[in-house]
Amino acid sequence: MPLKTLWPLFILGAIAGCTADNPDYLSNWRSLDAAGAPKDASGSPGDLPLVLPDLAGDMSGCGQLGKPCCAGACAGNGLVCFNGFCAPCGQPTQPCCNNGGCGSGCCNNKNTCIADKGWCGQDQVCNNHNCSSCGQVNQSCCPGSLCFASTCDGQKCIDSCGGPGQKCCQGSCMSGGCCVNNLCYPSGADCQTGEVCSDGVCWPCGDWGDPCCAKNSCLKNDGCCGKDGTCVDSGDPCGVKLGICTNGSCGGCGGAGEKCCMTPNPLPNLCSSSGTVCNGGLPGTCATCGGDGQPCCALKGCDKGGCCVGGTCKANGTSCGQLGACQNGACDAGKCGGLGQLCCNGVGCTALGTRCGNSGLCQACGGKGQPCCYDYASQLFIGCGAPYKPTSLNPNNCMCKD
């Protein structure tokens, strides 16, 4: 007999095995009556159609809040299948509902709902149900009226002014910077000899009890820049758990060539000796910074318009390596690495107080309310200009606050 004529017999044999007399073989299968209702166990298996095993004992209540999903789906509005269970969706911090629904907010690339006008990502804002780039000139202001290379007019970023190294915006600078001779200096940088910019004001610096000048500097070389960012005299305590100041060293740490003084997270480890930066991985060693071939100072600071290339300063007018010449903090003859410019290939941003954003442009960092800058010792984005402090070790969430 040809094989193709035998298949009905195989099917009948399989059906015959699906009976109450043979409970070990597909014992959970049932037949339906003509109305589609299940028959009892005595019903003939020949009364097709057959249905899948009854899993009600294992899936009771599936599709409801907190219960397992039913074949990847949940019942009712406001629920979505998330990691195999039905969870609330659509509100800020909750999973996005099906088709990206988030009420009046936005669904970000991590499938999480973001409130309208909230952060979608590092340099993106939720605006009219869409996550869009923000912070650059002619883009929407980021949350908190933040613009990276310009100023916010309430809705949009306008004019390239107010950032580190840029002209002042009608006599003022963004994010705690100081306007000196129509040029903006970031908080923590020197306004002039003996004055440091601190939260928008140029203060006397370097004397005992004064804020430290830029690069941890105090007027007497045997003094120390203490834990709270003020200058202490030799013989005075540097701060809690930092010992006594002796010739720029705080109890055996923080001096030139010494290990960096340890600080609690998320603060960067510190150096107390003038003109030094914590360098070379954790806990780090305090090294002279800012000159040609020396480590970059905090916030990528290099002397006299130099460029910070991979953590090392290149003097203004010299080569950035494969990136062309350094020109006032930017490489490629001033075309990349500066505030608002394209990030340089392979090294990112090279100017004081800048970091590379997701948009591929260099944005301001380290100022009040701005993202944290890169710290070369810890290799984390936790750098802030004095007197501001980092809020987190997370590179996507760290902001500089007072």
Distance of alpha carbon 271 from alpha carbon 261, whole angstroms: 6
Residue 213 DSSP code: B
Q: What is the mean pLDDT of the chain?
A: 83
Distance of alpha carbon 73 from alpha carbon 63, whole angstroms: 6
pLDDT for residue 148? 63
Q: Residues 291-304: pLDDT tens digits?
A: 999 999 999 999 99
Please report, rounded to a whole number, the percentage of residues in the chain having pLDDT higher than 70. 84
- Tokens (6 digits) for 387: 């007197």
Distance of alpha carbon 134 from alpha carbon 368, whole angstroms: 18
* pLDDT at 97 exceeding the cut of 80: yes
Q: Note whether 268 and 400 are within 8 A (CB).
A: no
pLDDT for residue 60? 66
Task: Determine phi and psi for 298, rounding to 5 degrees.
Answer: -55, 145
Lowest-confidence region among 49-58, 213-222, 305-314, 323-332 = 49-58
Torsion angle in degrees (nearest 10) through CA of 366, 372, 373, 377: 120
pLDDT for residue 46? 36
Q: Residues 337-379: pLDDT tens digits?
A: 999 888 999 889 999 999 998 878 899 999 999 999 999 999 9
Q: Residues 237-267: pLDDT tens digits?
A: 999 889 999 999 999 999 999 999 999 999 9
